[in-house]
Amino acid sequence: MSRPEATIVARDVLEALVGRGQTLATAESLTGGGIGRLLTSVPGASRAYRGGLITYATDLKATLAGVDPGALAAHGPVAAETAVQMAVGAARRCEADWGLAVTGVAGPEPQDGHPVGQVFVGIAQPAAGPLEVHELALDGDREDIRAATTVAALALLLDLLGRR
């Protein structure tokens, strides 16, 4: 997806949230802040985007994002359960209605038995209950996978906002 299309998805997510009077926080591993950067490229992003956590080191997924240490040890950093708990933690730590989280393998090397391009996207609205997790299998080099993860995560959240 080209840069202008990525910006449109970010703008649409922010508009959907503003229309609902709700806010968003992020927790990012492989994208390293790219989702927050894209959201804040939109002027007025502060009306709906509160901020986020960049949990690049595995232990920060527990100590910063609040993933249960036992679950993190059992499932590892690249896992559906970890993505969901990161999303919940982002919303709670940043006092937002929604949490959006991504964890996965950008490459160039596989990680702990997970192939390059395997990505989990977690979406949570802790106070209201909704939890979703999506597994992606992305192609391309490190930057392709990071860019595709950024757009896919926002598109999945936009889809969920349209359904609820």
Tokens of 56: 């690049």
Least Å distance, CB 64 to a copy of itself, is 6
Q: At what angle do helices 142-163 and 3-20 cross, to 10 degrees?
A: 30
Number of residues lying near a copy of itself (CB under 8 A)? 39
**CA distances, 42 to each of 5, 10, 129 (Å):** 13, 7, 28
Residue 27: half-sphere exposure toward Cβ, Cα within 13 Å: 37
The span of 14-22, 39-47, 67-75, 112-120 binding a copy of itself (CB under 8 A) equals 39-47
| C-beta closer to a copy of itself: residue 20 or 37 | 37
Member of 51, 76, 126, 140 binding a copy of itself (CB under 8 A): 51
| C-beta closer to a copy of itself: residue 34 or 161 | 34
Least Å distance, CB 163 to a copy of itself, is 26
Contacts of 108-114 with CB under 8 Å at 24 or more apart are 108/141, 108/142, 111/78, 112/76, 112/77, 112/78, 114/76, 114/78
Rule CB under 8 A: which of 52-111 touch a copy of itself? 52-57, 59-60, 63-64, 93-95, 106-109
Give the helix/strand (H/E) hosting 98.
strand 98-104
The span of 47-55, 78-86, 131-139, 154-162 binding a copy of itself (CB under 8 A) equals 47-55
143 binds a copy of itself (CB under 8 A): yes
Tokens of 23: 């806010």
Nearest to 117 by CA among 5, 30, 10, 57: 30
The span of 81-89, 114-122, 142-150, 156-164 binding a copy of itself (CB under 8 A) equals 142-150
SS3 (DSSP) at 104: strand
Q: Enumerate binding residues for a copy of itself (CB under 8 A).
A: 26, 28, 30-37, 39-41, 43, 45-46, 49-57, 59-60, 63-64, 93-95, 106-109, 142-143, 146
